Amino acid sequence: MTPVEDIIGPGVASTLPELFEERVRQSSEDCAYRFFDALNGVWTDCSWNAMARDVRRCQTALATEKLKAGDKVAIMARNSRYWVMFDQAALSLGLVVVPVYTEDRANNVAYILEHAEVKLFVIGGEEQWQTVRENMTGLPKLKRIVSIAECEKPGDKRLTSLGNWLPVEGEQVNRPTIGPDDLATIVYTSGTTGRSKGVMLSHRNILSNCASGLQVFPVDKKHVYLSFLPLSHTLERTVGYYLPMMAGATVAHARGIPELARDLLVIKPHGFISVPRIYERVYAKIKENLSVKPAWVRSLFYLAVDVGWQRFEYRQGRRKRPLLLFMWPLLKRLVADKITQRLGGNLQVAVSGGAALSTEISKVFVGLGVPIYQGYGLTEASPIISTNTPDNNIPNSIGKALPGIEVRIGEDDELFARGDNIMLGYWKNQQATDEVIDADGWLATGDKARIEDGYIYITGRIKDIIVLANGEKVSPVDMEQAIASDTLFEQAMVIGESRPYLVVLAVLNKHQWRKVAGDNGVTVDIEKNGAAEKLLLERLSGCLHDFPGYAQVYRITCTDEPWSVENGLLTPTLKMKRKEISKRYAREIEQMYEGHTD
């Protein structure tokens, strides 16, 4: 575990700005953040002292805006030390920070700014400004927009650049008294249906979650963590920003997903946080590369995975010593090391959260020595409720509840959680708050689960279960994960609520489909192509062989257009918007059921 003397716990710092100030005091000249200096093409370190000076400058600038405690400041920028600077300066003045996804749609950004009554809005630069500028009218409470990078044609008197807004030196400013139970942030959940709800989190909520995490995960002051999930995602913000600050570790801000592979090689991180989609992409690339290799190479790879997995289970105390364990040093050198070196070679903790990671993908990475720990949580829980740990890792579970967090199974097998990490409620929505938090403080997660020996297993969503016309129930998420194990399918959505049978909408990997179609003598054009649909259904059947007979898929429709945040079919956290996808492809869905008679 993390050395106790390095941790700044809630007993020392009861608010987020106190945490920052105490870390500056204890680690003034240590590296706080590492960032890529694009102008000079080098990675640069920033000390805690340097961060404190920038925070003071930002406090001074915020004070000139005549904001008062409780006012809202929104941040729509990529991960950087500037994000931290604005966050810490605002929190220290009693302001409430509202994170906004940089890839969010303009109308949703405008809704958040209006609903949260934001008075100052921070954007990253020209890209964000061009996204939101037309929606900035009709926001009378928004008084100032600050762009970190210069914008070419502002066209709005409220917009100024960071260079013009920040003073050269910071001054001492009057600061209000802030308590641990005061509102620190409003995080708008990336809802898959309807308008987002604003989750209200206090300083205590977040700090308690960090402290609980440090009781079960080893984080050293010498460790470097790579931050690439957006800081608007509560998982990254809590675990990839506040938690390393509590432990004194360094955070390197990645340049973006396109440069992630190179950044991993340069930074050589000890840990990072990701959603399953990133691991799925890496896995798909591995499988694609293997598909063109000789048979002996593929056999060697899967032997390494199998022996590595047996070794993992043995080290976890769940099986006897494997007979083939003697082969591991050779397999590690020939296979596993090539994978772990691509991740920097120092990786000790790779957290997967936000959605379920398939057991197949977990087994491959864990077997090859990539220490993936699947956890579980909600924005409403700050966000972590449970996690696997180095000493207790069952990849197909979501681990045990963190210290200080209670869990129980309620009606309809729903998982409930209670602790200091549970939100204050939804901003301006008491009815929604009362629907998910009962009088005793238990949060209804909306997920079905079972608990065995303290380990929690998610078994489905309360609202995402498909009930077929014959009454049979299936979990679309489980089926979609199984389909995603085939690299031919980039994305897939299972449909069948109140229908006679299941159908699938899918986005194909174009390169893979051309090869598969060519190998089977089928034309690439899928529309009204019975042979192509038959071939695709056979591939689906292979993915779904472990599911019951009634979970068979009878029709499939494919599209070339990927589902993305930009076209409104994914949330900013890359979850499918099932309702929107169903609307977009309503005609195609109906065609898959045409001609059916009960």
Each residue's pLDDT tens digit in the chain (598 positions)? Answer: 566 678 999 999 999 999 999 999 999 999 999 999 998 999 999 999 999 999 999 999 999 999 999 999 999 999 999 999 999 999 999 999 999 999 888 888 999 999 999 999 999 999 999 999 989 988 999 999 999 999 987 788 999 999 999 999 999 999 999 999 999 999 998 654 457 899 999 999 999 999 999 999 989 899 999 999 999 999 999 999 999 999 999 999 999 888 999 999 999 999 999 888 788 888 888 988 898 899 999 999 999 999 999 999 999 999 999 999 999 999 999 999 999 999 999 999 999 887 778 888 899 999 999 999 999 999 999 999 999 999 999 999 999 999 999 999 998 899 999 999 999 999 999 999 999 999 999 999 988 999 999 999 998 777 677 877 666 667 788 788 889 888 899 999 999 887 888 999 999 988 888 888 888 988 888 776 788 889 999 999 888 877 766 678 999 998 878 998 888 898 887 888 888 999 999 999 999 988 664 4
CA 421, 69, 55: angle at the middle one, nearest 5? 80
pLDDT score, position 149: 95
Q: Please tell me whether residue 425 adopts helix, strand or coil conformation.
A: strand
Beta pairing class for 406-409 and 473-474: unpaired
Give Cα separations from 567 to 172, 322, 398, 416, 492 (angstroms).
46, 49, 31, 34, 16
CA 379, 383, 384: angle at the middle one, nearest 5? 150
Beta pairing class for 425-426 and 250-253: unpaired
CA 571 to chain centre: 11
- Please report the domains of the chain, with CATH numbers, ordered by start residue: 18-177+221-272 (3.40.50.12780), 275-421+442-460 (no CATH), 466-593 (3.30.300.30)
Phi then psi dihedrals of residue 574, to 5 deg: 70, 25
Are 239 and 273 in contact by the 8 Å Cβ rule? The answer is: yes
Task: Give the CA dihedral 480, 570, 487, 253, nearest 10 degrees.
Answer: -120
Say how far apart CA 245 and CA 237 lie, in whole Å. 11
Q: Which of 1, 12, 173 is nearest to 89 (CA)?
A: 173
User: At what angle are helices 16-26 and 203-214 packed, to 10 degrees?
Assistant: 50
CA gyration radius, the chain: 25
pLDDT score, position 191: 52
pLDDT score, position 598: 46
Are 232 and 80 in contact by the 8 Å Cβ rule? The answer is: no
Say how far apart CA 8 and CA 438 lie, in whole Å. 32
Beta pairing class for 425-426 and 198-202: antiparallel
Say how far apart CA 474 and CA 337 lie, in whole Å. 39
Q: Please tell me whether residue 123 adopts helix, strand or coil conformation.
A: strand
pLDDT score, position 301: 96
CB burial of 60-96 (b: ≥16 within 10 Å; e: otherwise) equals bbbbebebeeebbbbbbbbbbbbbbbbbbbbbbbbbb
pLDDT score, position 472: 67
Residues paired with 418 in a beta bridge: 406
pLDDT score, position 105: 80
Say how far apart CA 178 and CA 314 lie, in whole Å. 49
Amino acid at residue number 55: V
